[in-house]
Amino acid sequence: MAKDILIKPLITEKAENLSEKKNQFTFLVDRKSNKIEIRKAVEKMYNVHVSAVNTAIMPSKTRNRNTKAGFIRGSVSAYKKAVVTLAPGETIDLYGEI
Protein backbone atom coordinates (compact mmCIF):
# COMPACT_ATOMS: atom_id res chain seq x y z
CA MET A 1 0.00 0.00 0.00
CA ALA A 2 2.80 2.45 0.86
CA LYS A 3 4.53 1.74 -2.44
CA ASP A 4 1.32 2.59 -4.29
CA ILE A 5 1.20 6.05 -2.70
CA LEU A 6 4.91 6.97 -2.81
CA ILE A 7 6.05 6.64 -6.43
CA LYS A 8 9.62 7.90 -6.05
CA PRO A 9 11.69 10.54 -4.25
CA LEU A 10 12.36 13.70 -6.24
CA ILE A 11 16.07 14.45 -6.36
CA THR A 12 16.59 18.02 -7.52
CA GLU A 13 18.84 20.83 -6.40
CA LYS A 14 16.00 22.49 -4.50
CA ALA A 15 14.98 19.21 -2.84
CA GLU A 16 18.58 18.59 -1.75
CA ASN A 17 18.76 22.05 -0.15
CA LEU A 18 15.51 21.40 1.73
CA SER A 19 16.74 18.05 3.02
CA GLU A 20 20.03 19.52 4.28
CA LYS A 21 18.73 22.74 5.84
CA LYS A 22 15.14 22.10 6.93
CA ASN A 23 14.93 18.29 7.24
CA GLN A 24 12.31 18.16 4.46
CA PHE A 25 12.12 15.47 1.78
CA THR A 26 10.24 15.63 -1.52
CA PHE A 27 8.37 12.71 -3.09
CA LEU A 28 6.38 12.12 -6.25
CA VAL A 29 3.06 10.72 -5.01
CA ASP A 30 -0.17 9.32 -6.41
CA ARG A 31 -2.57 12.05 -7.60
CA LYS A 32 -5.46 10.61 -5.56
CA SER A 33 -3.60 10.36 -2.23
CA ASN A 34 -4.18 12.82 0.61
CA LYS A 35 -1.86 14.16 3.31
CA ILE A 36 -2.86 11.56 5.90
CA GLU A 37 -2.16 8.67 3.53
CA ILE A 38 1.19 10.20 2.52
CA ARG A 39 2.17 10.64 6.20
CA LYS A 40 1.36 7.00 7.02
CA ALA A 41 3.17 5.73 3.92
CA VAL A 42 6.38 7.64 4.73
CA GLU A 43 6.30 6.58 8.38
CA LYS A 44 5.77 2.94 7.44
CA MET A 45 8.29 2.80 4.59
CA TYR A 46 11.17 4.74 6.19
CA ASN A 47 10.51 4.17 9.94
CA VAL A 48 10.47 7.89 10.84
CA HIS A 49 8.05 10.33 12.48
CA VAL A 50 6.52 12.94 10.16
CA SER A 51 5.63 16.33 11.61
CA ALA A 52 4.09 17.96 8.48
CA VAL A 53 3.10 17.20 4.89
CA ASN A 54 2.66 19.82 2.16
CA THR A 55 1.32 18.83 -1.27
CA ALA A 56 1.19 20.52 -4.67
CA ILE A 57 -0.20 19.43 -8.01
CA MET A 58 2.25 20.44 -10.70
CA PRO A 59 0.54 21.35 -14.00
CA SER A 60 1.26 19.67 -17.32
CA LYS A 61 3.67 21.41 -19.68
CA THR A 62 3.98 21.39 -23.44
CA ARG A 63 7.30 20.47 -25.00
CA ASN A 64 8.51 21.14 -28.54
CA ARG A 65 11.16 19.17 -30.35
CA ASN A 66 12.68 19.68 -33.74
CA THR A 67 13.63 16.45 -35.54
CA LYS A 68 14.65 15.48 -39.06
CA ALA A 69 11.03 14.60 -39.79
CA GLY A 70 9.83 18.00 -38.63
CA PHE A 71 8.52 19.78 -35.59
CA ILE A 72 7.01 17.56 -32.89
CA ARG A 73 4.79 18.93 -30.15
CA GLY A 74 4.10 16.89 -27.02
CA SER A 75 3.32 17.29 -23.35
CA VAL A 76 4.60 16.24 -19.96
CA SER A 77 1.85 14.91 -17.71
CA ALA A 78 0.74 16.68 -14.54
CA TYR A 79 1.90 15.14 -11.27
CA LYS A 80 1.52 15.57 -7.53
CA LYS A 81 4.46 16.13 -5.22
CA ALA A 82 4.66 16.09 -1.45
CA VAL A 83 7.18 17.84 0.77
CA VAL A 84 7.46 15.88 4.02
CA THR A 85 8.92 17.50 7.14
CA LEU A 86 10.42 15.03 9.61
CA ALA A 87 10.64 15.33 13.37
CA PRO A 88 13.88 16.86 14.70
CA GLY A 89 16.78 14.42 14.79
CA GLU A 90 15.38 12.05 12.16
CA THR A 91 16.50 11.62 8.56
CA ILE A 92 15.92 9.49 5.48
CA ASP A 93 18.82 7.97 3.52
CA LEU A 94 17.54 8.20 -0.05
CA TYR A 95 20.83 7.14 -1.64
CA GLY A 96 21.34 4.01 0.47
CA GLU A 97 18.26 2.28 -0.93
CA ILE A 98 17.89 0.75 -4.35
**Residue 2 predicted with pLDDT over 80:** no
97 band by pLDDT with thresholds 50, 70 and 90: low
pLDDT, tens only, 41-78: 999 999 999 999 999 999 999 999 888 888 889 999 99
Residues 6 or more apart whose Cβ sits within 8 Å of residue 8? 27, 28
Residue 94 falls within a domain, yes or no? Answer: no
Indicate the number of domains in the chain.
1
97 inside domain: no
Q: What is the pLDDT of residue 32?
A: 95
What CATH number does the domain containing 63 carry? 3.30.70.330
Task: Return the amino acid letter for 63.
Answer: R
The per-residue pLDDT for range 35-48, each reduced to its tens digit, is 999 999 999 999 99
Pair 23, 85: CB distance under 8 Å: yes
Does the structure show a pLDDT above 80 at 1?
Answer: no
Residue 74 covered by a domain: yes
